[in-house]
Amino acid sequence: MRHLLSTADLALDDALRILDIAEDMADVSTREVRKLPTLRGTTVVNLFYEDSTRTRISFEAAAKRLSADVINFAAKGSSVSKGESLKDTAQTLAAMGADGIVIRHPSSGAPRVLADSGWVEAAVVNAGDGTHEHPTQALLDAFTMRRRLHGAASRGRDLDGLRVVIVGDILHSRVARSNAWLLRTLGAHVSVVAPPTLLPVDVSRFGVDVYYDLDEALARVRPDVVMMLRIQQERMNEAFFPNAREYARSWGLSAARFRALPATAIVMHPGPMNRGLEISDEAADSPRSTVREQVANGVAVRMAVLYLTLAGDREDSL
């Protein structure tokens, strides 16, 4: 695995390989010494053009547990804002000997441009690009679902027949895109729910069912998983919907909607949550909420991705 840029072109075998290795990595985290020597002498740079403390810390923890050296490059507010290009920054990092670059960028496709450019030799891991993809988030979500579904017997299993409903700002969500493609590859059935303004005009390439009405979607699909997406406050100022109250009433996972879910259904959220807007306290704090598991699993999944891109054969990009 040369790079991890997207889930859209991730084959089933590769996805399962990442998830299975993540199981091994999760086991490491339960040991007394939670560290492997695997990436000793390897340098991983977290190149973040957007603030995302949570994702950055997760990658940092993953790299350190594999004994890699970690450099955090917060490109926002540094030389980059003085007009340094992605090209120059990447070449600077390459000159410093970066073996892996974990990139978060506001422009869709920036990790792909970096990987294809020839500017760097390093493995490129997409940590979220614009409104395009966030593949490690989707992998950790799938990992979390698989563990809830199959428990200790998860290795080698896919998500065949799992019914997943993703609710919220599909238009701007890289989490929704990466999940749609990965979950479909793993055999799950995905539906998305959003006001029409927060859906792309044409979602035919997503391979999902589309609902505008959350109650209808929950009643028809009888989901195993409900994934709530974060609503950005600025969307309200851009006329995507009238106000927070109306959004919460129509598309929020209220206590009543939560109680009406099938008894085994789990509730997911990539965080950070807007409590009272897209998700109620009752749903967020219930034992059926996986929010904290998702965070813990994130480290294991990112360890697996760093292991496969930096310690493996590094043949093709995934």
Partner 1 sequence: MTTTTTHLIRAVETVEGTRTDVLVRDGVVVELGSGLSAAGASIVDADGLLVLPGLVDLHTHLREPGGEGSETVLTGSRAAAAGGFTAVNAMANSSPVADTAGVVEQVQALGDRAGYVTVRPIGAVSRGLEGTHLSEIGAMARSRAAVRVFSDDGHCVSDPLLMRRALEYVKGFGGVVAQHAQEPRLTVGAQMNEGALSAELGLAGWPAVAEEAIIARDVLLADHVGARLHVCHVSTAGSVEVIRWAKSRGIDVTAEVTPHHLLLTEDLVAGYDSRFKVNPPLRGHDDVEALRAALADGTIDIVATDHAPHTSEAKCCEWDSAANGMVGLETALPVVQRTMVDTGLIGWADVARIMSTTPAVIGRVAGQGRPLAVGEPAELTLYDRSVTRTFSVDHLAGKSVNSPFIDYDLPGRVMATFHQGYATVESGRVVETETVARAAAGVAARRLAIETGASTR
Given the rule CB under 8 A, which residues bind partner 1? 8, 85-87, 105-110, 112-113, 116, 129-133, 174, 177, 200-206
Q: Is-contact 167 226, C-beta < 8 A?
A: yes
Query: Which residue, 192 or 253, has its beta carbon nearer to partner 1?
Result: 192
Residue 68 DSSP symbol: -
Q: How far is the CB of 114 from partner 1 (least distance, A)?
A: 8
Q: How far is the CB of 172 from partner 1 (least distance, A)?
A: 8
Residue 233 DSSP symbol: G
Residue 20 CB coordination number (10 Å): 17
Query: Which residue, 207 or 276, has its beta carbon nearer to partner 1?
Result: 207
Q: How far is the CB of 242 from partner 1 (least distance, A)?
A: 19
Q: How far is the CB of 181 from partner 1 (least distance, A)?
A: 9
Q: Which amino acid is at 171?
A: L
Q: Is-contact 267 284, C-beta < 8 A?
A: yes
Query: Which residue, 20 or 209, has its beta carbon nearer to partner 1?
Result: 209
Long-range contacts from 54-60, C-beta under 8 angstroms, 24+ separation? 54/271, 54/272, 54/295, 55/104, 55/127, 55/128, 55/136, 55/137, 56/104, 56/127, 58/295, 58/298, 58/299, 58/302, 59/102, 59/125, 59/127, 59/136, 59/302, 59/306
Q: How far is the CB of 287 from partner 1 (least distance, A)?
A: 34
Query: Which residue, 41 or 118, has its beta carbon nearer to partner 1?
Result: 118
Q: Is-contact 99 42, C-beta < 8 A?
A: yes
Query: Which residue, 241 or 307, has its beta carbon nearer to partner 1?
Result: 241
Q: CA 161 to CA 189: how far, in whole Å?
A: 6
Query: Which residue, 171 or 231, has its beta carbon nearer to partner 1?
Result: 171
Q: How far is the CB of 215 from partner 1 (least distance, A)?
A: 25
Q: How far is the CB of 132 from partner 1 (least distance, A)?
A: 3
Q: What is the dihedral of CA 64, 69, 74, 80, to 10 degrees?
A: -150
Query: Which residue, 34 or 87, has its beta carbon nearer to partner 1?
Result: 87
Q: How far is the CB of 257 from partner 1 (least distance, A)?
A: 27
- CA 91 → CA 44, 86, 119, 210, distances in Å? 14, 8, 6, 43
- By three-state DSSP, how is residue 216 classified? helix
User: What are φ and ψ of residue 311, in 5° steps?
Assistant: -110, -15
Residue 50 DSSP symbol: S
Q: CB-based contacts of 45: which residues, under 8 Å, 6+ apart?
A: 70, 71, 72, 73, 93, 96, 98, 100, 101, 102, 122
Query: Which residue, 200 or 276, has its beta carbon nearer to partner 1?
Result: 200
Q: How far is the CB of 294 from partner 1 (least distance, A)?
A: 22
Query: Which residue, 106 or 312, has its beta carbon nearer to partner 1?
Result: 106
